[in-house]
Structure 1
Amino acid sequence: MSDKSNNYAEYSQFHFYIADYCVFVAMLLLSTGTGIYFGYIRKNVKPVKPTINLETNKHKEPDFGSKAMNEYLLGSRRLKVFPVAMSLIASYISGVTMLGVPSEIYNYGTQYWLIMVSIVLMAVVVSKVYLPVFTTLNVGSSYEYLELRFSSSVRSIASFMFVMDEIFFLPIILYVPAIAFNQVTGVNIYVISGVICVVCVIYTLIGGIKAVVHTDAWQTLVMFIALVVVVILGTIAAGGPGPVFKHASEGGRIIFFNITPSLYERQSFWAVLIGGFFYWTAFNSVNQTMVQRYMSLPSLKKGQQSIIIFTLGVVLFLSVCCFAGLLVFDFYRNCDPLNAGLISLI
């Protein structure tokens, strides 16, 4: 335990240096620059031919009041598959995922890893059931569909609920990685959260959906590359994947078929498979952050292709995060920093 404590003390001295700050500032500037590029330099409001026969469709192609607004919100439905797929990944993967999933695996084992099956099933349902409806009706949002199907009141209520959900959800997305940033820089949590908010608002406000999609795309690639590098270095330090899985098994962390029906179990085969499927389907089928990206593509086929890439990307990303959790367990298996009093929950 003393050796592990010494190792912890050694690693706890790590903090940002000049190169790290340069990379961080460069990402903020590049994000802002992406918004400026698509907002002022590469403006394009040329109309796009619809991929469905609107003469047989009672619902007109939405232009949100003007061609410029249609360009701003949907990119005139001419975005490319790969950037949109990367943006879909970014809509779900965040700092919370990169910190939370390894923590889940470290503390409770690999049962959550089974969520990959639920994600694949979700992709089939969304691409074959939900997406064809949206593309056939040519709606710009899931709430527009609710108005067509029910009434404007239902649309307003659903829109209000979505806004409230984002108001309560987004601060968590900002706060968790801000804590990690604070630990390695000493910068006040609220200051860094405010800076990130301002940058996001600027490039979104100026560049619209195109800026958001392309910023999401390269940010996702940067996050994934960084995570993979950390996992590779950690695996090498642990002596390879063999010892990692061996120690995890000895520590009771390799769990895939906990089939208990108890509702009090944190993770079980049924909870992850069934609950995970309905959660992922609900989020990816009708949540506006996803639907808007689907509808920025020119056709149903392109939308389905983006879902395939999104699914493969998320499965790979989450799998790397899960393995990272096993690496953390391997390092601290003989001296849990929380139980040893080296860290605290508050």
Structure 2
Amino acid sequence: MAQTLIYLHWADYALFAAVLTVSIGIGIYHACAGSKQRTTAEYLVGNRKMSVLPVSFSYVVTYMSSIFMLGLPAEMYVYGLTYMFNFFSILFANTLTVVIAVPLFHPLKLTSSYEYLEKRFDSLAVRKMGALFGILLTTLYMGVVLYGPAVALDTVAGFPLWASVFLVGIASIIYTSIGGIKAVIWTDVFQCMIIVIGLTAILVKSIMEVGGFGNFWKHNAGSGRFDINWSFDPTVRTTFWNCLFAGCVGWFGVAFNQASVQRIAAMPTKRHATKMVLLSIPGFLFLAIAASLEGFAAFAYYKSKDCDPFAAGYISNSNEILPYFVMELFQTLPGLAGLFLASLFSASLSTLSSGLNGISANTLMDFVSPFYPKISEFKRTVLAKIFVFISGFISIAISFLVMIIGGPVTQICTSLLGSLGGPVSGLFLIGAFFPWANSKVCEQIFILAGFASDVITIAQVYI
């Protein structure tokens, strides 16, 4: 099997362009509908009257980013089934959200999650520091989300990296800025449908190519892909125990993330918010399992051909396995590779739009409103839209910086979540469960967080 670079057909580009056009169209519709996004309540939290089902879809795809859609198949292809025990953490995170976040945040009618920190610790400084950490994390993460699928498709399909970054970034900025949270949520619903259709098409076609589910199972089971590592050794990369517990820690902060709090705030009642989170659980599990099965499908496909493109050096990064596999799988079916392209970048768009809307809310509510409380509602909404543009272009710039840094995107994201997301989640938990904690405790947490970030950076350089 020789290495080939398979270029996209015009039909693939047309389908990809259609997804971007529809997404922008949804933003334009919501910019013109209702009160035309003239109040911050409508722009940032949908007047707190959003419906359960669409917000639940949005909640799912906000966290199922393109990194997740590329990383899970790569994980299953290279390391096997054990990593799937990470999925128990999804149940843990959503349970935590229902039990702690919903009753904590919804009655307060918040727009920014960090408003809680000021109310709880009676300190504007703590609120601003928490918001600063959150904005920094989201902005950096969005840059990685833009970079991940772009570099993979540039490598295996010749799709220009800069074009991927700019097209997806600009599209997300446009519909998020003009349509607000309603545009974000309804485009998320549309993009979720595209993701599901794309995943299904890949699975059906690949199982047909290997000769049915029996061969799919035989190739993976015979190569140890379904074996589970039960070791207690913490130095082993993937075991049942470290995937289970590390996954729970990794997803721990989801309950206190701005995107989660904003969707909780968009619900009319606490009961609706609880239902929204519970309905998202099967959606999370379906997408996670489907993405994992793609990795097993790719392994069975190449096993049947007695060729491993990763081991053979046809691709240099495990994140490129899925794009390489799909381009080969659909090379005689114009349009289907474009469907994969659309589903992959839909995952990027959903995460980006939620991040941009969240940063806008944080910047306005945590850094502008406390100092200019009498600013008019119209000006506040205009500022919120401007903040979407600014943060969007910063994220695009960061994606180009990530190209220079290099390294696996999963490692970059893990470092970001641990060093920036962990301390903020700790603040919310301390505030909720330790009534004697005060602002001095919070200051120490941020000092330790800064030290931990330095340690992580040094470790990555020398290890």
The answer to whether TM tops 0.5 is yes
Deviation string 1:301-321 (CA, Å, 9 cap, x unpaired) is 111221122111010101011
Output the TM-score relative to the length of structure 2. 0.65
Aligned residue for 1:23? 15
The 5-angstrom pairing of residues 53-68 of structure 1 reads 68=39
Output the TM-score relative to the length of structure 1. 0.86
Paired with 2:262 and 2:278, the residues of 1 have a C-alpha distance of 17
Paired with 2:245 and 2:202, the residues of 1 have a C-alpha distance of 32
Quick one: which of 139, 146, 168 aligns to 2:117? 146
Report the residue type matching 1:149 in the other structure: R
Aligned residue for 1:318? 288
Superposed displacement of residue 287, structure 1: 0.6
Conserved in 1, the CA contact under 8 Å of 2:209 and 2:301?
no
Q: Would the alpha carbon gap of residues 297 and 152 (structure 1) be closer, same or farther in structure 2, given more than 3 Å must change?
A: same
Aligned residue for 1:211? 183
Length, aligned pairs only: 315
Aligned residue for 1:249? 221
Report the residue type matching 1:202 in the other structure: I
Conserved in 1, the CA contact under 8 Å of 2:49 and 2:267?
yes
- Does the alignment pair 1:230 with 2:202? yes
Conserved in 1, the CA contact under 8 Å of 2:6 and 2:157?
no
- Does the alignment pair 1:99 with 2:99? no
Conserved in 2, the CA contact under 8 Å of 1:16 and 1:184?
no
Superposed displacement of residue 90, structure 1: 1.5
Aligned residue for 1:301? 271
Deviation string 1:8-46 (CA, Å, 9 cap, x unpaired) is x5xx4543222211111111111111111111234367x
Quick one: which of 38, 63, 73 aligns to 2:30? 38
- Does the alignment pair 1:133 with 2:104? yes
Conserved in 1, the CA contact under 8 Å of 2:58 and 2:185?
yes
Aligned residue for 2:298? 328
Paired with 1:295 and 1:41, the residues of 2 have a C-alpha distance of 21
Paired with 1:212 and 1:177, the residues of 2 have a C-alpha distance of 21
- Does the alignment pair 1:273 with 2:244? yes
Paired with 1:184 and 1:219, the residues of 2 have a C-alpha distance of 24
Report the residue type matching 1:17 in the other structure: H
Paired with 2:100 and 2:314, the residues of 1 have a C-alpha distance of 50
Conserved in 2, the CA contact under 8 Å of 1:147 and 1:154?
yes
Paired with 1:145 and 1:86, the residues of 2 have a C-alpha distance of 26
Conserved in 1, the CA contact under 8 Å of 2:28 and 2:178?
yes
Conserved in 2, the CA contact under 8 Å of 1:141 and 1:291?
yes
| Aligned residues: CA RMSD | 1.9
Superposed displacement of residue 221, structure 1: 1.1
Aligned residue for 1:179? 151
Contiguous gaps of at least 5 residues in structure 1: 46-66
Paired with 1:315 and 1:217, the residues of 2 have a C-alpha distance of 17
Q: Would the alpha carbon gap of residues 272 and 185 (structure 1) be closer, same or farther in structure 2, given more than 3 Å must change?
A: closer
Quick one: which of 270, 290, 313 aligns to 2:260? 290
Q: Give me the identity figure in percent.
A: 32
Paired with 1:188 and 1:342, the residues of 2 have a C-alpha distance of 19
Superposed displacement of residue 112, structure 1: 1.2
Conserved in 1, the CA contact under 8 Å of 2:5 and 2:157?
no
Moved more, 129-138 or 321-330: 129-138
Conserved in 2, the CA contact under 8 Å of 1:141 and 1:288?
yes
Report the residue type matching 2:24 in the other structure: T
Report the residue type matching 1:133 in the other structure: L
Moved more, 300-309 or 240-249: 240-249
Aligned residue for 1:199? 171
Paired with 1:205 and 1:184, the residues of 2 have a C-alpha distance of 33
Paired with 1:121 and 1:41, the residues of 2 have a C-alpha distance of 38
Superposed displacement of residue 136, structure 1: 2.2
Query: Which secondary structure state, in structure 1, belongs to the residue aligned with residue 75 of structure 2?
Result: helix
